[in-house]
Structure 1
């Protein structure tokens, strides 16, 4: 009898969680509507870390990056909000991802066309590890990170600017990507 009741509560709990998730999760209706688009835009404006998209050309290769842009907001960033020696989603909220239309060289290493999540491992005095991972659509960023899905890891040395930048930005520049936040500049060479 006890086992039957436990099974019932387990099944009921699973059903309830699924029901809540399906009611609040993303819509799978591809038709969409103007009202849905307006609501989505409003919710993007309300995000504490706005969702940003940047794109550009490096040589003749098109690159697009999407990321959540957190602000400093008076917080200590390096080795506090963003711990050293731990995988960081290189942004906020969902995983940052990059879209490549053709093969590129990242710090001299080849990376095939496709979409990749972009993670980093920050370090105090050593080069950072920049990671391109096959699972690009991670809703909870580094909390879902799986090292076995890494496609490429390279080492990059950050530099430090004199002036602080409040909001994280990732820019496509002539020779790659630049991740900037607080006084950090992380140049990732792409060719």
Structure 2
């Protein structure tokens, strides 16, 4: 009986070691980890939730992210932007809420899209659900960004990746 208890204890201990090792192996970092950017634009709080891919030596603009095609502006699930108050985006009104965020990159002008379907995989874009489309001008980033990054500044939203920065002007909506 004593041998059976010791045997059972050793088997339980062995099972725990194997399980812990298996879980630890699955815990490697994601290729495009989740990230969040939050800030104030006027009295509105703006929050961006996205997955942040890396350059990894690739040419991003015009190759990995083709010009003239809708891009999910991140990786994995759709990037979302949440406004707790109504705002003006590039001078156009947008109601408070959470939107999926897409873009159509081009060399000289980008189309920025706020889509009403927030909870979706990034490649399930439906143009009929667009709440707002605006045009913005990209610029050369002051530094190289290995990872896609969003910043919320007092002037709006800034997408930065590789050698590109894409500002989106946001102001608090007039009442």
User: Which TM-score band (shorter chain)?
Assistant: 0.7 to 0.9
Residue in structure 1 matched with residue 116 of structure 2 by the alignment: 134
Q: What are the residue-to-residue correspondences of 1:149-164 with 2, within 5 Å?
A: 149-164=129-144
**Structure with the larger RCO, 1 or 2 (CA within 8 Å, 6+ apart):** 2
Residue in structure 1 matched with residue 83 of structure 2 by the alignment: 100
Structure 1 residue 161, shift from structure 2 partner? 2.5
Residue in structure 2 matched with residue 110 of structure 1 by the alignment: 93
Could you say which structure has the higher helix fraction?
Answer: 1
Structure 2 unaligned spans of 5+ = 1-22
Structure 1 unaligned spans of 5+ = 1-38
Q: Check conservation: 2:104, 2:112, Cα contact below 8 A.
A: yes
Q: How many residues align?
A: 147
Could you say which structure has the higher strand fraction?
Answer: 2
- Work out the CA distance in 2 between the residues paired with 1:187 and 1:162: 13
Q: Check conservation: 2:141, 2:160, Cα contact below 8 A.
A: no
- Work out the CA distance in 1 between the residues paired with 2:142 and 2:47: 28
Structure 1 residue 131, shift from structure 2 partner? 0.2
Say yes or no: does 1:72 pair with 2:55.
yes
Q: SS where residue 190 of structure 1 aligns?
A: strand
* Alignment RMSD: 1.4
Q: After TM superposition, what 4+ stretches of structure 1 lie above 4 angstroms from structure 2? A: none
Structure 1 residue 124, shift from structure 2 partner? 1.7
Structure 1 residue 183, shift from structure 2 partner? 0.8
- Work out the CA distance in 1 between the residues paired with 2:39 and 2:107: 30
Residue in structure 1 matched with residue 149 of structure 2 by the alignment: 169
Structure 1, residues 80-104: CA drift from partner, whole Å, max 9, x if none? 1000000001111110001111100
Task: Normalising by structure 1, report the TM-score.
Answer: 0.74
